[in-house]
């Protein structure tokens, strides 16, 4: 399977704890995105990378959130001092963008975070 | 700013009948439009996109969508619905004039196809 892979699929933690999620994009894709989806809503953009550079961050990404893509391959999303409102599905997507083509974003199955 | 509206929370259709899921958008530059489908506890699956060219776009699983610039709409259609089409459908837009690639999604429409 060469799709977008996210780990873990589910994470349950106590309020105040730190959590980290991992995303492995489709190997030839140079762009990687993070979205958050709450129940009954559409995904909301958090941030994206082109190769290892983080190019855009949503105002939803508070200072408790940090994302990295150190070698331009996999990415991690860390949430520090988790709060109840952080409970959501965190989706990762990747795409290949160049001057010739504009390919759609392909999504992983997400990490569902539950804060107790 | 860009936005997407999906006016129907749920669409019910009988198997074999045609279906339409509505989407309207707002974007300041060139609209790049997408439809995705989501099954329970899964990520989003790409169905089709409009970037430029023919207003009628054909995608996966027999779905198609019609881009209407004057009505700023991009409705999803299928001539004959299947029970297996029952899922959550999301319309998304991004500004093609912007180098960024942020997608803005609608709130989703649940499609229920009854046998």
Instruction: Give the residue among B77, B84, B83 at the shortest CA–CA distance from B63.
Output: B77
Beta bridge partners of A107: A93
The predicted-structure confidence for B10-33, as pLDDT tens digits, reads as follows: 999 999 999 999 999 999 888 999
Minimal Cβ distance to B105: which of A6, A42, A56: A42
CA B110, A92, A114: angle at the middle one, nearest 5? 75
Q: Do A31 and B101 count as a contact with CB atoms less than 8 A apart? A: yes
Residues B84-108: what's their mean pLDDT? 88
Distances (CA, A) of A110 to A11, A58, A60, B38: 11, 19, 18, 11
Cβ contact (<8 Å) for B4 and A42? yes
pLDDT digits (tens, 9 = 90+) for A29-65: 999 999 999 988 999 999 999 999 999 898 888 899 9
> Residue A45: what are its φ and ψ, rounded to 5°?
-65, 135
pLDDT, position A98: 67
Model confidence band, residue A96 (pLDDT cutoffs 50, 70, 90): confident
The residue in chain A having the minimum alpha-carbon distance to the alpha carbon of residue B94 is: A104
Rounded to the nearest angstrom, the minimum Cα separation between B36 and chain A is 10
Instruction: Say if residue A99's pLDDT is above 70.
Output: no
Rounded mean pLDDT of B49-63? 92
Q: Is B73 left (phi over 0), alpha (psi -120 to 50) or beta?
A: beta
Which of B108, B92, B46, B98 lies closest to A26 in space, CA to CA? Answer: B46
Helices (H) and strands (E) in chain A, counts: 0, 11
- Judging contacts by C-beta atoms under 8 Å, the chain A residues touching residue B96 are 102
Under an 8 A CB cutoff, do B101 and A112 touch?
A: no
pLDDT, position B72: 96
Residues from chain B contacting residue A102 (CB–CB below 8 Å): 32, 51, 96
Query: Tell me, what's the pLDDT at A100?
Result: 55
Q: For residue B92, which residues of chain A lie inside 8 Å, CB to CB?
A: 42
Q: Contact B29/B51 with Cβ under 8 angstroms?
A: no
């Amino acid at each position: 399977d060469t799709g977008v892979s996210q780990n873990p699929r589910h994470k349950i933690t106590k309020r105040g704890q730190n959590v980290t999620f991992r995303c492995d994009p489709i190997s030839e894709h140079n762009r990687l995105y993070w979205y958050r989806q709450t129940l009954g809503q559409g995904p909301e953009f958090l941030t994206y990378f082109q190769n290892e550079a983080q190019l855009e961050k949503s105002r939803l990404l508070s200072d408790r959130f940090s994302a990295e893509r150190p070698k331009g391959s996999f990415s991690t999303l860390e949430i520090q001092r988790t709060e109840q409102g952080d409970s959501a599905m965190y989706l990762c997507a990747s795409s290949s963008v160049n001057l010739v083509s504009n390919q759609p974003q392909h999504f992983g199955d997400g990490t569902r975070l539950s804060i107790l | 700013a860009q936005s997407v509206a999906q006016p129907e929370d749920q669409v019910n259709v009988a198997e074999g009948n045609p279906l339409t899921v509505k989407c309207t958008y707002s974007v300041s530059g060139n609209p790049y439009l997408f439809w995705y489908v989501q099954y329970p506890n899964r990520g989003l699956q790409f169905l089709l996109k409009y970037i430029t060219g023919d207003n009628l776009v054909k995608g996966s699983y027999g779905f198609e969508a019609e881009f209407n610039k004057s009505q700023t709409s991009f409705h999803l259609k299928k001539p004959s619905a299947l029970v297996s089409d029952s899922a959550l459908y999301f319309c998304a837009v991004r500004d093609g004039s912007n180098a960024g690639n942020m997608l803005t999604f609608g709130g989703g429409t649940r499609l229920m196809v009854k046998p």
